[in-house]
Structure 1
Amino acid sequence: MTLTVTGHRASAARTVSVARAYRFELVKLFSSWRVRLLVLACWIVPALFVAAVSQQSSLPVDTLFGRWMHATGWAGPLVTLGFSGAWALPLLTSVVAGDVFASEDRLGTWRHLLVAVRSPRRIFAAKALASLTAILLLVVGLVASSTVGGIVAVGNQPLVGLDGHTLAPSDAAGKVLLAWLCVLAPTLALAAIGLLGSVALGRSPMGLLLPVLVALAMQLAQMLPLPVAVRLALPGYAFIAWNGLFTDPAQLGPLLIGIAVALVWAVTATALAYLLFLRRDFTNLNDDGSGRRAVTAGVLPLAGLLAVTVAVVATATPATGSGIEQAKVQRSLATAFAHLYRLQAEELNRPAVTEAQLRATAACTKGSVAVGAHGPGNDWRCVISWHLPDVQATGTAVYQLDIAADGRFVADGDGPKEVNGYFLLRAPTGDAPNPLWQFDGNVELLAATPKG
């Protein structure tokens, strides 16, 4: 009896818990010079970038909220978010999650790790959790650094949203934080794809590059005139759908769908990586992944998942085609113009006017199409009409619109000059361009088409 109990205690002592293996993996992960360099860059570079750009005379106006970097410190973290979703976050997931299993193949340390931990399941859990922790630390660094850089360089000023309404600094802070939280879902999806590539492809460099390649493919797809259902079904759509938080009311439909799709991809890819890892023969040093295994256990299941999500989104959402329709464009443009007209009147010290009093409307054409115009393009032309209290004449202004496939548009004033031409106004933060000259907007792809 004594020998039996002693044997059980010795066996339990040799068992390494997930928590202990997790701590070991964290130490090993952060001992890598690449990860240390990424941590340093994420916590320092965004602050320097935002502070430097905010002091320049020329701003990145082609980037969402870039034109407001002179006016408020809250534009900086949003510009950083746009860049991170396209480039930084895919790179981070590749370096961390895409290499966490492949590094053991390159070093030939699998058998030593199995002897120490004694459980492939605990090894997988520890490595996945360590990768997640490192990625979260890097994302927190991007948020904190870019926010501090913007607030210190420009100040805690109100932020103008994508429909022209003004957000108080406290509201802007909450929306910025929520936007960064929303992009964690597609980041987790890319991280899971990185885990799958690291397990399936072993020491092959393709496993390390897989999240970046997937992100690049999704960016290219978003530039194409795809149906809105296909666009929303891509796991990276939440990287751009966060802009819906900065309208009033918030355009939450595409964002919530994008988050749900990304989380489904994250769970599915992680499960595939787990099952593939448990089936691996660790006694064979040459068994470090194969192209056939990557196709059967990775590409085909994820392709099937994409087909399913497209079918579900197409069935559950009301929008058809591109989702960009004439009535939606006119409504979005008129709303943004009314909000920004109030801002211009305030900066010119004119009598205050409300959106209801303005009764702004828009009439848009696309190329030579006057009725039923739809789809993205830079050939949209719109005429805005509005009314002022106690003024009989109707005001009009012309805008050229460049609408991207994801619904974001840039409105460029085309006269009259005194309304939407380029001139400087005295803003609270100093001289600023006329807010009605050029501005960004967003067409809600899933919104019901307005009648009339």
Structure 2
Amino acid sequence: MTAAATGAVPEHDAGAVDGRVTVARGYRFELVKLVSQWRIRLLVLACWTAPALFVAGVSRQSTLPADTLFGRWMLATGWAGPLVVLGFSGTWALPLLTSVVAGDVFASEDRLGTWRHLLVAVRSPRRIFAAKALASVTVILLLVAGLAASSTVGGLVAVGNHPLAGLDGHLLAPGDAAGKVLLAWACVLAPTLALVGIGLLGSVVLGRSPMGLLLPAVVALAMQLAQMLPLPVAVRLALPSWAFISWNGLFTSPARLGPLVIGIVVSLVWAVVATVLARLLFLRRDFTNLTDGGPGRRAITVGLLPLVALAVATVAVVAAVTGATTGSGIEQAKVQRSLATAFAHLYRMQTGQLHRPDVTEAQLKAAAACTKGGVADDAEGAGNDWRCVVSWHLPGTTATGQAVYQLDITADGRFVADGDGPKEVNGYFLVRTSTGDAPNPLWQFDGDVDLLSPSPKE
């Protein structure tokens, strides 16, 4: 009989204390077990190569993913690619990755029937849990790092290190864009850890059931659907999925850090609570009963009810802190301000393309007047029926320039402004420059409404 099977530890092994395997040794063992699985190796390979190939491939196409945030800038700068991949990852990739890794880390022992051997070798359920949780987080961080690094390298190699237009139209220098992209990827680690905690909880509670494996993806999908509904701002910000969206605020000037900080804090609280619940349920399991396949369905309420209570508590706290108890946060005055700000920045970009005399945003005095579905006063809410007229003045002229836009605003505050004339300003997707045709920055652009900002005075 081997030493591992009997639980014996060699006397010269400094990593053992009282015959028990330390957390560090258990962590290394669990990490090796994870990376030895063929599906984990395939995920690592895909995360470190597929984003670069995708970004490079799209950058050579004539059509771009314009319906994706920053997708329309993928031909202009290499820093748009990692942001497009980040948006896709927060919606689909990261929930699926946490399901495969964290959602299966405990359930795999149930399927293989190896709990007895592991307990004899380690002699501490607490250390087993810690080792498995740490190994899962390590693999997830490796996968996230691969997505970020691969998409960034692919974008810079295929397109180049050029300035990036922010969500309010202002240009970010390459160095500033690099820092914002890196920070955006770092911010989504918080909601990813929340999904990891939910995955650990599902793996412990549901055991051999495949639902444990799917739980993080199902929860993420439910939260994404909730973000699409016309919910009050406090409810929207109290969901961990908000941090997958709120990194958008980094790409405005000044940066909108309030919603981002709230999203990160909420996500970390969810991560801690879900992990603690998983640990408590794991330690209560009767490993001496060979027919025990896990806490069972009766423990679902033990794991579910605290999370429901947490959701209610976070909504109450966010509402009290922000004062946003009701309403969508998408108000007419805010929409007009955001649109006018983005238009002014992008007008300067178009001016540079056409080699016209430079003007400042202050000189333009851009303003917008918007209606929604025929409602002229106090319009609010998401929808694709916003119609706006932007007006501006050029120095030395008395005439007022005007441009029409159709806006499609989503429930999270993001909008797409689609130019509707005049042709020489925003009615065509190309502008004729001295070096040839170039994309017209005023034809169609993305913007963002700050849901928490006070409505500006008219």
TM-score bucket (shorter structure): over 0.9
- If the length of structure 2 is used for normalisation, what is the TM-score? 0.95
Is 1:117 equivalent to 2:117 in the alignment? no
1:13 offset after TM fit, Å? 5.7
Contiguous gaps of at least 5 residues in structure 1:
1-5
**Residue identity in the other structure for 2:311:** L
- Structure 2 partner of 1:404: 410
Per-residue displacement from partner, 1:217-270 (whole Å, max 9, x unpaired)? 011111111111111011111101111110001111111111110000000000
Is 1:393 equivalent to 2:399 in the alignment? yes
1:131 offset after TM fit, Å? 0.3
- Structure 2 partner of 1:245: 250
Which SS does the other structure have where 1:419 is aligned?
coil
Q: Which moved more, 1:85-94 or 1:286-295?
A: 286-295
Per-residue displacement from partner, 1:375-428 (whole Å, max 9, x unpaired)? 000000111110000001111111110000000000001111111111423689
- Structure 2 partner of 1:416: 422
- Structure 2 partner of 1:180: 185
Which SS does the other structure have where 2:421 is aligned?
coil
User: Mapping of 1:74-113 within 5 angstroms?
Assistant: 74-113=79-118
User: Mapping of 1:12-23 within 5 angstroms?
Assistant: 12=17, 14-23=19-28
1:292 offset after TM fit, Å? 3.2
Contiguous gaps of at least 5 residues in structure 2:
1-10
8 Å contact kept, 2:368–2:391: yes
**Residue identity in the other structure for 2:286:** D
Whole-angstrom distance in 2 between the partners of 1:357 and 1:345: 13
Whole-angstrom distance in 2 between the partners of 1:206 and 1:267: 21
User: Mapping of 1:264-283 within 5 angstroms?
Assistant: 264-283=269-288
- Structure 2 partner of 1:73: 78
1:49 to 54, 74, 80: 54
8 Å contact kept, 2:34–2:40: yes
- Structure 2 partner of 1:213: 218
Whole-angstrom distance in 2 between the partners of 1:377 and 1:129: 43
- Structure 1 partner of 2:439: 433
Which SS does the other structure have where 1:386 is aligned?
strand
Is 1:195 equivalent to 2:206 in the alignment? no
8 Å contact kept, 2:196–2:216: yes
CA 1:62–1:428 in 2, change beyond 3 Å: closer, same or farther? Answer: farther
8 Å contact kept, 1:200–1:288: no
Is 1:254 equivalent to 2:259 in the alignment? yes
- Structure 1 partner of 2:5: none
CA 1:120–1:426 in 2, change beyond 3 Å: closer, same or farther? Answer: farther
- Structure 2 partner of 1:3: none
CA 1:430–1:45 in 2, change beyond 3 Å: closer, same or farther? Answer: farther
Is 1:300 equivalent to 2:298 in the alignment? no
Whole-angstrom distance in 1 between the partners of 2:354 and 2:206: 62
Which SS does the other structure have where 2:21 is aligned?
coil
Q: Which moved more, 1:69-78 or 1:413-422?
A: 413-422
Is 1:63 equivalent to 2:68 in the alignment? yes
Whole-angstrom distance in 2 between the partners of 1:179 and 1:354: 29
8 Å contact kept, 2:285–2:295: no
CA 1:423–1:408 in 2, change beyond 3 Å: closer, same or farther? Answer: closer
Which SS does the other structure have where 2:424 is aligned?
helix
1:31 to 36, 41, 57: 36
Whole-angstrom distance in 1 between the partners of 2:338 and 2:433: 25
8 Å contact kept, 1:143–1:180: yes
1:318 offset after TM fit, Å? 3.0
Whole-angstrom distance in 2 between the partners of 1:139 and 1:293: 34
**Residue identity in the other structure for 2:366:** A
**Residue identity in the other structure for 2:95:** P
1:95 offset after TM fit, Å? 0.4
**Residue identity in the other structure for 1:302:** L
Is 1:351 equivalent to 2:357 in the alignment? yes
1:432 offset after TM fit, Å? 3.0
**Residue identity in the other structure for 2:183:** L
- Structure 1 partner of 2:209: 204
8 Å contact kept, 1:421–1:434: no
Which SS does the other structure have where 1:416 is aligned?
coil
Whole-angstrom distance in 2 between the partners of 1:441 and 1:155: 24
Q: Which moved more, 1:290-299 or 1:260-269?
A: 290-299
Whole-angstrom distance in 2 between the partners of 1:97 and 1:22: 14
8 Å contact kept, 1:182–1:242: yes
1:291 offset after TM fit, Å? 5.0
Is 1:157 equivalent to 2:175 in the alignment? no
CA 1:76–1:427 in 2, change beyond 3 Å: closer, same or farther? Answer: farther
1:339 to 322, 333, 345: 345
CA 1:10–1:416 in 2, change beyond 3 Å: closer, same or farther? Answer: closer
CA 1:185–1:427 in 2, change beyond 3 Å: closer, same or farther? Answer: farther
8 Å contact kept, 1:408–1:441: yes
- Structure 2 partner of 1:363: 369
- If the length of structure 1 is used for normalisation, what is the TM-score? 0.96
Which SS does the other structure have where 1:196 is aligned?
helix
Per-residue displacement from partner, 1:341-368 (whole Å, max 9, x unpaired)? 0000000000000000000001111011
